[in-house]
Amino acid sequence: MDLDRTDIAILRCLQRDARLSLRVIAKEVGVSTPTVSARLTTLTQLGIVKGYAAVLDPERLNETTFVLLVKARPPSTDAVASAIAKLAGVRRVLVARGGRIVVDATVVDPRDVDAVLEKVAGLHDVVDVDHHVAIRALKEEPRAILADALTTSLVCYQCKGPIKGEPIKIRMDGRDHYLCCTSCEKLYVERHRKLKAAA
């Protein structure tokens, strides 16, 4: 699904400063405040906007940041990555090809680095663990690059599978819902009606 210029402009405003009010964004983008609100609701439903957070510098808080490079047995990579994600101090987990997992972690006490390493190395199906303690950050930018033309991959609200081609879009309770086919649409609408009736 293609994002239009208004969506992209709103995302740029938020990526620059997530504290901007809807009114300020609306004025900057050239649309009404309710339009910004509705678009943000949709962008959040689609999983494009995951949340709003202040960017804090762990170095200024005297915390230790480090990167783990983990090699797991390929059939178990996702399970190992999920287990690592649950560990205290782990901030971000990326699954790469060939059973490799890249982990960003932060600890308050530098001595806790070894404790995290031991826990990761002790996980079943972990073949190798390497780590690098960060000395300083030279650059930190938002991960999403907001080009002039953007598309998003949609997931069916019913079967949770990827939507290929044009989605079926239905509006219920003031929200847009995206489905992959008429079968999922029928099931989803029926489930929604039952939940509403039970409430």
CATH code of the domain in which 35 resides = 1.10.10.10
Q: Domain total for the chain?
A: 3
In the prediction, which pLDDT does 147 show?
Answer: 86
Judgement on whether residues 68 and 121 belong to the same structural domain of the protein: yes
Rounded percentage of the chain residues whose pLDDT exceeds 70: 100
Q: How much is the average pLDDT of 44-56?
A: 87
Same domain, 177 and 197: yes
- φ, ψ for residue 8, nearest 5 deg: -65, -40
Asked whether residue 161 falls in the same domain as residue 129, the answer is no
80 lies in some domain: yes
pTM of the model: 0.71
Q: For 41-47, which contacts have Cβ atoms below 8 Å and span 24 or more sequence positions?
A: 41/175, 42/176, 43/7, 43/10, 43/11, 45/175, 45/176, 46/1, 46/152, 46/154, 46/178, 47/155
Same domain, 48 and 12: yes
Q: Tens digits of per-residue pLDDT, 122-139?
A: 999 999 999 999 988 888
Q: Is 99 left (phi over 0), alpha (psi -120 to 50) or beta?
A: left
Q: How many CB atoms lie within 10 A of CB 11?
A: 20
pLDDT the model gives residue 62: 92
Mean pLDDT of all residues in the chain?
A: 91
Shared domain for 8 and 48, answered yes or no, is: yes
The domain that contains 72 carries what CATH number? Answer: 3.30.70.920
- Reported as a single tens digit per residue, the pLDDT across 144-199 is 888 888 888 888 889 988 888 888 989 888 778 889 999 999 999 999 899 888 87
Q: Residue 142: inside a domain, yes or no?
A: no
21 and 48: one domain? yes
Which residues sit opposite 62 in a β-bridge?
none
Shared domain for 121 and 90, answered yes or no, is yes
Residue 69 lies in a domain: yes
Is the residue at 144 inside a domain?
A: no
170 inside domain: yes
127 and 168 co-located in one domain = no
Give 160's DSSP letter.
Answer: -
Same domain, 47 and 73: no
According to the model, what pLDDT value does residue 39 have? 92
Q: Are residues 68 and 128 in the same domain?
A: yes
pLDDT band at 115 (very low <50, low <70, confident <90, very high): very high
Nearest alpha carbon to residue 113 among 144, 94, 91, 89: 89
Which structural domain range is residue 89 located in? Answer: 64-133
The residue whose two tokens read 């509403």 is: 196
